[in-house]
Amino acid sequence: MAIRVLIVDDSVFMRGMLKSAMEGVTDIDVVGTAMNGADGLKKIESLRPDVVTLDFEMPGMTGLEVLEHVMKLRPIIPVVMVSTKTQKGARITLEALQLGAVDYVAKPLGEKSATLQSFREDVLNAVRAAAASNRSRIGKKQEETVVEARGFHGTPPNVIVAIGISAGGPATLHKFVPAIPQSFPPIVVTQHMPADFTGPFAARLNEVSKVTVKEAEVGDELLPGTLHLAPGGRHMKVEKHIGKLRIALDDGPKVSGFRPSVDVLFNSLAHVAGNRVVAIVMTGMGNDGSEGVKLLKQKGAVTLAQDQASSIVYGMPKAAYETGAVDRQVALRDVPAALHESIDQLAAVSK
């Protein structure tokens, strides 16, 4: 059965763009459009769509206000935010994701065919991810307490923690990264996100975390107590230079459907630090990370995946687990502790 979508946007042009992006596929059906927030709330009640796309900036009720109403009245309906590629757009989108929006797409800049095709792919991916999301997790404040990881005495073990994550990622990272102590090995994260969004997201996450969170830059050395977030729209790799592990970035083609790609990060780590890596694949749509997990496992890494019950979208973790290369699945509340245990495991083997 096709995914029934309601488009809420005050712009006639954007309503047309979104509708056009979803035409020509058999698994998605646009069942209605709304020109403002109040109209959108009425049509959510009358049409009961499977997914709502929601503009963040509208006259009258803003997108955030509409989202708050949806989370109170119909929290099982997944919402995809439609945002602008600006600092304000990024800030509001991140707020929306914490309020309960499942995913987001950035409005296209320009009308080049490649830009419009990329926008169409983003819309289709976001709608499908939203439709596949765990309805019991949408809008949930995740009251369960994340178990804080213990810190390491002295210098943390010579291990790298790698995280691959996509739809549902911002809210998930906000939940467990603050539970990681400052005395922890370096962390590298590939979160599927467009350019201009990762900088504000890293800054926001840094405010609530014990580790230093930063958007990765070329040449950054991987140091304990630091989390490097792949910049939007660029692949992040880890390379060895004069005995030190450093960040490398490139603008190569999409891998596994994404740039940045989890597979690109994992594959690079397999080559330079294979048996000193703890990798986890978390919430997200598709199978990015599955190939990298297999290669890492062959090299002696510890590999984890988020479990179905705690994933907002159990796509990437499921695909990774089904490769047979994942050591175990972990609930969100146990991720920091599981990372610590896995680091200890690798450290014991290397002694």
Residues forming beta bridges with residue 6, ordered by sequence position: 32, 52
* Closest to 235 measured CA to CA, from 247, 243, 246: 247
Instruction: Please name the residues in contact with 46: beta carbons below 8 A apart, sequence gap of 6 or more.
Output: none
Q: Is 256 a catalytic residue?
A: no
DSSP three-state, residue 247: strand
Distance CA 275, CA 7 (A): 47
Q: Is 209 a catalytic residue?
A: no
Would you give the end-to-end CA distance of the chain in angstroms? Answer: 55
Token digits for 89? 């757009």
- Catalytic entry in 9, 133, 174, 192: 192
Buried/exposed 298-327: b ≥16 CB within 10 Å, e otherwise: ebebbbbbbbeebbbbbbbbbbbbebebbb
- Catalytic entry in 39, 50, 103, 288: 288
Mind spelling out the 3-state secondary structure of 50-114?
CEEEEECCCCCCCHHHHHHHHHHHCCCCCEEEEECCCHHHHHHHHHHHHHCCCEEEECCCCCCHH
- Contact criterion met (CB below 8 Å) for 305 and 335: no
Q: Is 271 a catalytic residue?
A: no
- Catalytic entry in 83, 166, 256, 261: 166
Distance CA 123, CA 143 (A): 30
Catalytic residues: 166, 192, 288
